[in-house]
Amino acid sequence: MAIVGIVPAAGSGERLGTDGPKAFAACAGRPLLEWSLDVLETVCDRVVVAVPAGYEHGADRVRGAASRSASVREALRAAPEATVAVVHDAARPLVSRVLVQRCLDMLAAGGCDAAVAASPMSDTVKEAGNDGTVVRTLPRAGLWSVQTPQVFDAAALHRALGVDDAVLAAATDDSSLVEAAGGVVRLVEAPPENLKVTNTVDLALAEALLGDRELRAAPRG
Ligand code: C5P
């Protein structure tokens, strides 16, 4: 069995307002991407990163593509030996080894093609038109907000990604593509700190939580 980490890190990150791509923006003293790599490298046999053009230095760096899932497809193509793929966004630096392992265990238990991190919705979710008029309110029970890591049977992910670029561009995560291909996806409840860095408030929060985590991990002296 070959467990390969796949990290889409090729986004521009315009909403964060940094000069360069988001994955390379400084977060608690190092590039955002490196926090996730630290964790994935302890669990995976190899980690392939999809990076923006001009950042393909070093082994296991491939050029990303026009959409997030197309970047995942490029990285997966570079790891034909993968039997299990651990897809994780560079934008979630607070991922833990425990969470990745729980997703791996869920997949290994059988009966599904993907095991994905998720949190039960705490907000009420409404559907609205372009002018902000509410169309309906969704019953909250049974609604989850889905995150990464997402752990896949690599063959199932490969099949799911074999669709038109327009379908990949419309997908907001990879597990929905597996569902669309008839696969079974299971949820693994994630801890609240597994946040996604999208804007400057998220970045400040991530830095505070990572600083706290480092402090707790440091030997007392
Ligand atoms: O833009 P968003 O935050 O949803 O992106 C999620 C992840 O997908 C980020 O880590 C980003 O770098 C990556 N991405 C990518 N290729 C793209 C767009 C986003 O690898 N074309």
Render pLDDT for 124-154 as a digit per residue (tens, 0 to 9): 999 999 999 999 999 999 999 999 999 999 9
* Distance, CA of 170 to CA of 27 (rounded, Å): 29
Query: Looking at the domain assignment, is residue 135 inside a domain?
Result: no
Q: Which helix (H) or strand (E) holds 165?
A: helix 165-170
Q: Calculate how far, in angstroms, residue 48's C-alpha sits from the geometric centre of ligand 1.
A: 14
Beta bridge partners of 185: 114
| pLDDT value of position 58 | 87
Query: Looking at the domain assignment, is residue 27 inside a domain?
Result: yes
Q: Calculate how far, in angstroms, residue 218's C-alpha sits from the geometric centre of ligand 1.
A: 31
Domain of residue 56, CATH code: 3.90.550.10
Query: Looking at the domain assignment, is residue 139 inside a domain?
Result: no
Q: Calculate how far, in angstroms, residue 143's C-alpha sits from the geometric centre of ligand 1.
A: 24
CA angle 184, 187, 189 (to 5 degrees): 170
Q: Calculate how far, in angstroms, residue 219's C-alpha sits from the geometric centre of ligand 1.
A: 35
* Distance, CA of 43 to CA of 27 (rounded, Å): 22
What ligand 1 atom has the least distance to the C-alpha of 90?
10
Q: List pocket residues of ligand 1, CB cut-off 6 Å.
A: 8-11, 22-23, 50, 64-68, 71, 89-91, 198
Q: What is the DSSP string of 88-144?
A: --TT-TT--HHHHHHHHHHHHTSS-SEEEEEEE--S-EEEE-TTS-EEEEE--TT-E
Share of the chain above pLDDT 70, in %: 99
State how beta strands 46-51 and 125-128 pair.
Answer: unpaired
Render pLDDT for 44-80 as a digit per residue (tens, 0 to 9): 999 999 999 999 998 999 999 999 999 999 999 999 9
| pLDDT value of position 221 | 62
Render pLDDT for 3-22 as a digit per residue (tens, 0 to 9): 999 999 999 877 787 888 99
Tokens of 172: 């907001």
Q: Calculate how far, in angstroms, residue 8's C-alpha sits from the geometric centre of ligand 1.
A: 6
What ligand 1 atom has the least distance to the C-alpha of 92?
10
Going by alpha carbons, the residue nearest to atom 21 of ligand 1 is: 67
How many structural domains does the chain have? 1
Query: Looking at the domain assignment, is residue 133 inside a domain?
Result: no
Query: Looking at the domain assignment, is residue 103 inside a domain?
Result: yes
Query: Looking at the domain assignment, is residue 130 inside a domain?
Result: no
**pTM recorded for the entire structure:** 0.96
Query: Looking at the domain assignment, is residue 124 inside a domain?
Result: no
Query: Looking at the domain assignment, is residue 45 inside a domain?
Result: yes
> 31, 213 in Cβ contact below 8 A?
no
Q: Which domain holds residue 208?
A: 3-118+144-217
